[in-house]
Amino acid sequence: MERVKAVIFDMDGLMIDTERLYFDVERLIARNFGKEVKDETLWKMMGRKPLEAITVFAEDLGLDISPRELLSIRDDLFVKKLINEVEAMPGLFDILNSIRGKLKML
């Protein structure tokens, strides 16, 4: 039986709560355009490629802006939120500490 030699982490939703950050940013963008985004729209965007998701957003809100430009706005706001507001998911540091020095972490 082979031993585990490395661990690969998927940050999105496992190490940090990116869903909340995306929802906050998308609500902010909607307000900046004088609109309110429904939770239904936000959920419809989940799991899609970024450009496809932001196209759903633009269409549902009736925004007259290109999806690429809107995606750029969203990404800029998301990075700012990520830098200033990100918190680790519960238990993350316990897991990291339990494997530190025992496995490669990629």
Reported pTM:
0.76
46: Cβ contacts below 8 Å, ≥ 6 apart: 19, 53
- Gap between the terminal Cα atoms of the chain: 22
Let me know whether 32 and 1 are in one domain.
no
> pLDDT digits over 66-90, tens only?
999 999 999 999 999 988 888 888 8
Is 39 an active-site residue?
no
Cα separations in angstroms, 53 against 22, 46, 86, 104, 105: 11, 7, 22, 34, 31
Let me know whether 23 and 68 are in one domain.
yes
Cα separations in angstroms, 37 against 18, 84, 103: 18, 23, 43
Look up the domain containing 48 and give its range.
19-86
Let me know whether 57 and 38 are in one domain.
yes
Is 10 an active-site residue?
yes
Residue 24 sits in a domain of what CATH number? 1.10.150.240
Q: What is the pLDDT of residue 105?
A: 67
> pLDDT digits over 26-80, tens only?
999 999 999 999 999 999 999 899 999 999 999 999 999 999 999 999 999 999 9
Let me know whether 9 and 42 are in one domain.
no
Let me know whether 13 and 24 are in one domain.
no
* Mean pLDDT of all residues in 12-34: 90
Count of structural domains, the chain: 2
Let me know whether 40 and 58 are in one domain.
yes
Let me know whether 29 and 10 are in one domain.
no
7: Cβ contacts below 8 Å, ≥ 6 apart: 99, 103, 104, 105, 106
SS3 104: strand
Query: Which position among 10, 39, 64, 94 bears the catalytic label?
Result: 10
